[in-house]
Structure 1
Amino acid sequence: MFALIPFNAALRQCLVKRTIGATLAGAVLAVVMAVPAAQADFPQRDIRMIVPWPAGGGADAISRKISNLAEQSLPTSIYVENIGGAVTATGLMQLAKARPDGHTIGVLTYDSVVTLPRGNMVPGYSLDKLEPFARVTQEADAIVVSKQSGYSSFEELIEAAKENPGTVRIGVAPQGSGPYLAVRRLEAATGVSFNVISYPGSSTAEAEALLSGEIDAAISSLGDFSGILSSGDALGVVELSGSQNPAYPDVPPISDFGVELETGSFIVLAAPANTPKDAIETLESIYYEAYQSDEFQQWVTSIGITPGWLGSEEVSEWIDSYQERTFAAMDELNL
């Protein structure tokens, strides 16, 4: 009897160790197996797309269109949320702070890439906190005149500004924006002086100002003004590009007038930094499929916007190059 007691205790101890070991091994195996299973299931819920501008502008329209097409490849939806303010920083700060699991993505525009970093305008804002995974458009800015202005060509607009400096009213986004830089570069290139009026927010405010007669002209993309252009309430007189836009054959590029000035905007899609690679790959894939679709290509060109795809391996390098060129132009004008 006494000899069996230690044996049974040892046996029990051995069995306990084996049970614990088997349990731990099983748990580890379950975790290892669960990781690829979770990755394969992305997305697990609807994807939130943050557009850092109010509804109604060009960035909003493009983001909604391509997202509507992209979600057709998913078992879930992609819904757009407009969060304007602080020249896109309000929405993008929310994007940067979102859980990096691929279920929150957002839109970067010129202001996100140039205006905010250049001026260090918002504490805590940094592109390092975001991971771009695609560029879907690259569009030139243009000068649009209102029907009420009496101008019908780029030459007439420049001539009026030369004869009466500071009287031709031209609307642009606030200082630091692409259109603001464009109008200052245009003044320097042509030797004229405009009455520059800035409008915060999307190009919708400039379109309303053109319709009311508050301004004579405005600078943004032709796509941003597609509504008032198609209605005949406004006329595109020049595109700030070195080549003709086939969607608007009646709007000449500024290079036709001997002026070298190419500027514009773009739509870049991004996720929070440290988003898993598999989620980034899925997002890039579904948006590329949407981008390539006939529906998107026909729609985007019909509103005068140039499609221009760059994938995740190229877009960050492109952003760095774009910043460098734009900052150099700003330095020349002391802006």
Structure 2
Amino acid sequence: MFLDGLKSKFMLALGACILGTSVAAADYPTRDIRLIVPWPAGGGADAISRKISNIAEQELPKSIYVENIAGAVTATGLIQMTNARPDGHTVGVLTYDSVITLPRGQMVPGYGLENMELIARITSEADAIVVSKHSGINSFEELIEKAKANPGQVRLGVAPKGSGPYLSANQLEKLLDVDFNVITYVGASSAEAEALLSGELDAAISSLGDFSGIIESGDAKGVIELTSVQNMTYTDVPTISSKGYDLQTGSFIVLAAPKGTPEDAVATLETAFKSAYDSEEFQSWLAQIGVTPDWLGSDGVNAWVEELQTNTFALMDELGL
């Protein structure tokens, strides 16, 4: 009889626990959602994250607030994300470095995509070469000509070694048979933008969207995009394929939550961000800054990341990086 009573209490407790979990899932979110952007404020990833989250929160009963936690090529912020309680109230932003640079180098203990639930890819952005108005360069052809005439002298800013732009610089040197003075910058593209403004750099590689402010002000100019698809916002910037070269490089924005986040919470987040993505406000804003909308939901983003890693790692092996 004692055992029957104990069993009965256990079943009641288990039922209460299951009911509590169901109620919690139904009530999600119960507090504001933290969106960790692992770059300093002011860069392209930061701007896109803030814009879409401001729209997405309109679909939710709670707000989404952005927290910039930079360091270790995005690992510092993303490790904080993966160590957070997996209840859907913490989300992180992944870029090229998060998916390629860090896993490739295995440079930060505790960091790994296996600790995340990928929610969706939001954008893809081709890399581009932007030149400073101080450089005296006005076209892709002039950039190549100056680099050939002055080996190792044209200062080209990129993100740290192993990053997408760094890989692009190596590929360009081989493709064009030139030698740039490649200078790496830790942090967001905002640091490269400042260097272009001051004349510290002749050129830099990142997306046109990352440099939209200084392009619009006339302090810099896009001379080539490393893609075969013409950017419909920056129609005056040619593709590298139009110049007879085959090169496709760039970055993206992917959203993720800590591993173990309930499926219902992931689904709620995906629905809210997809609604924001589809909105006229977000789509027109992306067009203004020259970023390509490129949604891929939770049902396909994992396979896409695996394929990207396989292809990119093979290329890095070939280049000895």
Q: Deviations over 1:60-110 (max 9, x none)?
A: 000000001110011111100000000001001111111111101100100
Q: Does 1:182 align with 2:172?
A: no
- Matched with 1:210 is 196
Q: Secondary structure at the match of 1:266?
A: strand
Give the distance between the partners of 1:21 and 1:162, measured in 2 at CA: 82
CA shift at 1:35, angstroms?
2.6
- Matched with 1:153 is 139
CA shift at 1:31, angstroms?
3.2
Give the distance between the partners of 1:174 and 1:288, measured in 2 at CA: 32
Match runs of 1:77-156 below 5 Å = 77-156=63-142
Q: How many residues align?
A: 321
Q: Secondary structure at the match of 2:223?
A: strand
The letter for the 2-side match of 1:255 is S
Q: Secondary structure at the match of 1:295?
A: helix
- Matched with 1:278 is 264
CA shift at 1:20, angstroms?
7.1
Give the distance between the partners of 2:3 and 2:320, measured in 1 at CA: 74
The percent of aligned pairs where both chains have the same amino acid is: 65
Give the distance between the partners of 2:195 and 2:312, measured in 1 at CA: 28
Give the distance between the partners of 2:232 and 2:36, measured in 1 at CA: 31
Give the distance between the partners of 2:314 and 2:8, measured in 1 at CA: 64
- Matched with 1:242 is 228
Match runs of 1:280-299 below 5 Å = 280-299=266-285
When Rg is computed on C-alpha atoms for both structures, the one with the higher figure is 1
Q: Secondary structure at the match of 1:297?
A: helix
CA gap 1:115/1:22 in 2 versus in 1, 3 angstroms: closer
CA shift at 1:29, angstroms?
3.9
CA shift at 1:167, angstroms?
1.1
Match runs of 1:1-335 below 5 Å = 26-335=12-321
Q: Deviations over 1:198-246 (max 9, x none)?
A: 1110001100000101111000000000000000110000001011111
For normalisation by structure 2, the TM-score amounts to 0.97
CA shift at 1:34, angstroms?
2.6
Q: Deviations over 1:234-267 (max 9, x none)?
A: 0000001011111110000000111111100100
CA shift at 1:28, angstroms?
4.2
Give 4+ residue runs of structure 1 displaced > 3 Å after superposition: 16-32
Give the distance between the partners of 2:167 and 2:7, measured in 1 at CA: 67
The letter for the 1-side match of 2:79 is M
Q: Secondary structure at the match of 1:224?
A: helix
Give the distance between the partners of 1:17 and 1:122, measured in 2 at CA: 51
Unpaired segments ≥5 residues, structure 2: none
Give the distance between the partners of 1:99 and 1:25, measured in 2 at CA: 27
CA shift at 1:24, angstroms?
5.5
CA shift at 1:325, angstroms?
1.2
Shifted more, 214-223 versus 17-26: the winner is: 17-26
CA shift at 1:126, angstroms?
0.9
Unpaired segments ≥5 residues, structure 1: 1-13
